[in-house]
Amino acid sequence: MMEQKGFTLWFTGLPCSGKSTVADIIAERLKTKGLKIERLDGDVVRQMLTRDLGFSKEDRDKNIERVTFVAKLLSRNGVGVLASFVSPYRETRDMIRNETTNFVEVYVNCPVEECAKRDVKGMYAKAYAGEIKDFTGVDDPYEPPESAEIIINTLEESKEESAEKVIGKLQGMGLISA
């Protein structure tokens, strides 16, 4: 088997911006190439690994700290990690960059109004109504990356176009072969 470089592809953006959708497409395409790929998704992780945490800044940071530990172990052992988390704070994402192998930040850019339209769980509506506090993009800030390696715009690009853009960049960086 060919030696694979480990990497951490970190999708960040507002809730409902398309992080998980694009990451899932990429994961499937990379798996069909025979690569070792693991998906870490905010909703899934919160059901299993971090169900004891809420959404305060401290709990969000602890959530990402735990996920970072998992990504660190996997990426340093030759696994491609595709992590999709709102991860709204730059300082926290900088910590992830320093802790994981071959960190690649993907900013999933999408206007909050469009994210709210896509929200099938009704979280934005509840946040706008004051039923949910500290909701990113409504009453809690999202700090966009200042120097993401990849920026996708899910309002203007199809999910397939966004996935191809990311895969092309990974190839260009030498993290995966063509």
- Would you please indicate which residues are annotated as catalytic (active-site) residues? 87
Tell me how far the alpha carbon of residue 76 is from its chain's centroid.
18
- Contact predicate 166/26, CB 8 Å: yes
Rounded Cα distance, 132 and 177, in Å: 44
Integer Cα distance of 12 and 148 in angstroms: 10
Write phi, then psi, for 61 (nearest 5 degrees). -65, -40
| 123-128 contact pairs (CB < 8 A, 24+) | 123/15, 123/16, 124/15, 124/16
127 near 16, Cβ under 8 Å? no
Cα 96 from Cα 148, distance rounded (Å): 13
Distance CA 178, CA 169 (A): 11
**Look-up of token digits 């992590």:** 83
